C-alpha cells in the first residue's frame, strides 16, 4: 500500500521557520519526482516545489523562491521542505505528492500519490 505521511506543520509567527517532512512507503521512492503542493483556506491547490529523483534538480514557485528549500533523503524515503521567513500568506495545508515520471513538472493534475496534508499557520 502506498503511503505518504506529512508531518511538521504547526503555528509559527511571521518570520519564523518550519521543516515539513513526508515519509513515503509502498513504492520506489528514489525513482520518483517528488513535489510539495499547498492549499490556502478557501483557495485551490497551488504548486510549491519539486525535486528530481536524485535530488540534484529543484524548482520553486516564485512566491517561495529564496525562502523555501526542498530536499530528499532516498535512504530514509523522506521528502523535506525547509521553510524560512514565513509569511501569513504561507498559511495553508501542505501536501506532498509523487509524480510517475522523471522530469520536473508543475502540473499537479498529473501527480499520482498524495499525502493527507499537514497544516501550517503563520500568525502573530
Q: Stretch 91-113: mean pLDDT, rounded?
A: 92
**How confident is the model over 51-72, as pLDDT tens digits?**
999 999 999 999 999 999 999 9
Residue in 1, 18, 10, 2 with CA at minimum distance from that of residue 85: 18
For residue 105, pLDDT over 90 is answered with no
Q: Stretch 89-116: mean pLDDT, rounded?
A: 93
Q: Stretch 69-81: mean pLDDT, rounded?
A: 98
Q: 3-state secondary structure string, 63-89?
A: CCCCCEEEEEECCCCEEEEEECCCCHH
Amino acid at each position: 500500500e502506498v503511503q505518504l505521511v506529512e508531518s511538521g506543520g504547526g503555528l509559527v509567527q511571521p518570520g519564523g521557520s518550519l521543516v515539513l517532512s513526508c515519509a513515503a512507503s509502498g513504492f520506489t521512492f528514489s525513482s520518483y519526482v517528488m513535489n510539495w503542493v499547498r492549499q490556502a483556506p478557501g483557495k485551490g491547490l497551488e504548486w510549491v516545489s519539486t525535486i528530481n529523483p536524485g535530488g540534484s534538480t529543484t524548482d520553486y514557485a516564485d512566491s517561495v523562491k529564496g525562502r523555501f528549500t526542498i530536499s530528499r533523503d532516498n535512504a530514509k524515503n523522506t521528502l523535506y521542505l525547509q521553510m524560512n521567513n514565513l509569511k501569513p500568506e504561507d498559511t495553508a495545508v501542505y501536501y506532498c505528492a509523487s509524480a510517475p515520471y522523471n522530469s520536473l513538472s508543475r502540473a499537479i493534475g498529473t501527480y499520482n500519490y498524495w499525502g493527507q496534508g499537514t497544516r501550517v499557520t503563520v500568525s502573530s
